[in-house]
Amino acid sequence: MSADKSAKIWDISEDNIGKVKKTLTCPGTGGVEDMLVGCLWLNDYLVTVSLGGIISIFLASDLDKAPTAFSGHMKNVSSLSILRSNPKVLLSSSYDGLIVKWIQGIGYSGKVQRKEGSQIKSLVAVEEEIVTSGFDNKVNVLLIFFANMRMIIVILLCTQFPSPLVKKSAMLVICI
């Protein structure tokens, strides 16, 4: 493991001189959460674990092959929603603010990047929008669109309830 978010395989000679044989890079955004915190060589597999919880499994006999990556939530899942515009895509959220995208037949497909990391109480996805409500009484409306097979999120609305515009006894109901 290395601070550059990669794992290196070394060839150590009889005279204890080391030479890097292969550098393995793991999928990710390049941020701090991609820092590797663990690695293991087990039989024909090299396993790395990132700070963000992504487990990458490399095949030792074919190091040029892309790793199989596993991830998910580190906290309890609070909501699930299927995109109607793309029924093979499922979104899950956990109270720690993480939204994960899953694809039917593939599994984990990545984390949805949000600028705000507030805790999520519930999530609903309809057509091109995701509506989240949090424990901080904020409602976020996020626009989803796809570019080069990446899901892009744009914040359309972020408001806190109760707000000065709404009486404290009012109840907010979101119908989609």
Nearest to 3 by CA among 36, 28, 41, 46: 36
Same domain, 26 and 84: no
Last residue of a domain, one of 47, 70, 93: 70
Q: Is residue 175 part of a domain?
A: no
Which pLDDT value is given to residue 103?
85
- What pLDDT band is residue 143 in, cutting at 50, 70 and 90? confident
- Whether residue 166 is predicted with pLDDT greater than 50 in this model: the reply is no
Tell me which residue of 67, 35, 65 sits closest to 49, measured CA to CA.
Answer: 35
Pairing of strands 99-103, 55-59: unpaired
**Residue 32 CA to chain centroid, in angstroms?**
13
Question: 33 — phi, psi (to 5°)?
Answer: -65, -15
Domain shared by 55 and 87, yes or no? no
Residue 36 lies in a domain: yes
Return the pLDDT at 163. Answer: 45
pLDDT, tens digit (0-9, with 9 covering 90-100), for 13-70: 999 999 999 998 877 777 787 888 888 898 999 998 888 778 889 999 999 998 888 7
User: pLDDT per residue over 101-127, tens digit each?
Assistant: 888 887 777 777 776 777 888 888 876
Show the domain range for 42.
6-70
Q: What per-residue confidence (pLDDT) applies to 58?
A: 92
Considering the domain architecture, whether residues 123 and 56 belong to the same structural domain is answered as no
In this prediction, residues 129-133 reach a mean pLDDT of 79
**pTM of the model as a whole:** 0.58
Shared domain check, 81 and 62: no
In a domain, 170, yes or no: no
